[in-house]
Structure 1
Amino acid sequence: MEGKMPKEKLTKEQIRKEVISWIAVMALGLGLGFLVNKFVFFTISSPTASMEDTFLIDEKVVILRTAYLFSKPQRGDIVVFPFPDDESMDYIKRIIGLPNETIEGKNGVVYINGEPLEEDYFKEPPEGDFGPYEIPEGHYFMMGDNRNISEDARDWDNKFVAEDKIKGKAIFKYPDFKWFSKVEY
Structure 2
Amino acid sequence: MLSMLVVCTGNICRSPAAQLLLADVLDSSVSVSSAGTRALVGAAVAEPVARRLTGLGIDTSGFTARALDSSLVERSDVVVTMTAEHRAAVLGVVPGALRRTFLLTELVLLAEHAGADAVSGRDDEARLRALVAAAGRTRATIGPARAHDVADPYGREDARYAEMLAEVREQATRLRCALRR
Both proteins in one fold, TM over 0.5: no
Larger-gyration structure (1/2): 1
Instruction: Give the structure with the higher percent strand.
Output: 1
Instruction: Give the structure with the higher percent helix.
Output: 2
TM-score, normalization by structure 1: 0.23
